[in-house]
Amino acid sequence: MLIAHELRASGQITERAILFTAVNCAFAFVALTLVLPFLHLEQEADLRTALLHPIYLLGGALLLGFIACQLMLAFAGWLGKREDRQFILLIALVVLVVGLARATGLTVVVALLAFGVFARNLDYDHVLLPLRFGYAGQLLFVLLFVLTGASLEFYGLQTAWAVVACYVLVRFLGKALAILVFGRLSGLRAGGAGLLSVALVPMSGVAVIMVHDTEALFPGFGAELAAVVLSAAALLELIGPLATQLALRHAGEAHPEEGAG
């Protein structure tokens, strides 16, 4: 998103890359929740815990997001279509959701994701405004990259470099194969599948959050997982933005000169 903004990029490849990134993050958290029962059983937990804990995490996060959405819609309708007021309301509800999720042991990102999805699809009266974060949004992007980078280490490369390399390769090939097979069916232009695959090389900071959440639940397994995923994330945080920029430029969708002057 930040690269597309900097390059003033627009077009089919840019739109698909941003859409797939959002969808991938959503699917990743749901998939991780569905895998938790197997991790519980591997850690010799009882069957009841293995089944109920993932249901609590996913169901609780969805419920919390839904309640926050209802509060957002109710207060937004009362405050009116004032961008400054709705901006403050959004920040207040995000802080509330984060606090309640932490207090109840729910997954913060899933709760926030559910909040956004519900707000987008349940605003039947169109009381919500499309908020523009401006320079504040750019600052948040910078902070995200700094905090993500500060949590990444290359310690896993010394002992698991082969696994890390395989992980990075399989991750790329999995996305590329799916795009190549289904790209035409979704209306992707000829030659666009390869460019879109390259544009999706970066790994989201969400992966770091997922590793930390898993490590908090399963310290032993989480440490092994972190050695691979965080090392891969460190590599992809470096080469990924360059790959995305290259793909958008070759697609002819980058127009950085429009933001000059």
Most confident of 51-60, 109-118, 170-179: 170-179
In the numeric block, which tokens belong to residue 44?
């010799």
Distance between CA atoms of 229 and 175, rounded to whole angstroms? 17
Considering only CA atoms, which of 30, 90, 83, 88 is closest in space to residue 58?
A: 30
Report the distance separating Cα 151 and Cα 156, nearest Å. 13
Q: 71-100 as b/e, with b when 16 or more CB fall inside 10 Å?
A: bbbebbeeeeeeeeebeebbeebbeebeeb
Q: 70-84, 168-182, 203-217, 244-258: which range is least confident on average? A: 203-217
* Average pLDDT taken over every residue of the chain: 81
Distance (Å, whole) CA 24 – CA 4 = 18
Q: How many whole angstroms separate alpha carbon 218 and alpha carbon 54?
A: 14
Q: What is the pLDDT of residue 134?
A: 56
User: What is the residue type of 224?
Assistant: E
Q: What are phi and psi of 255, to 5 degrees?
A: -135, 65
Distances (CA, A) of 124 to 34, 80, 120: 31, 15, 9
Q: From CA 165, how far away is CA 157, in angstroms rounded?
A: 9
Look up residue 79 and give its two tokens: 């405050």
Q: Is the pTM of this model over 0.85?
A: no
Which tokens go with 84?
A: 């400054």
Average pLDDT over residues 34-58: 77
Q: Determine the pLDDT at residue 228.
A: 83
pLDDT: which is higher, 82 or 174 = 174
- Token pair, residue 171, equals 């991750």
pLDDT digits (tens, 9 = 90+) for 181-238: 887 777 777 778 888 899 999 887 778 778 877 877 777 777 778 778 888 888 888 8
Q: How much of the chain exceeds pLDDT 90, in percent?
A: 10
pLDDT tops 70 at residue 56: yes
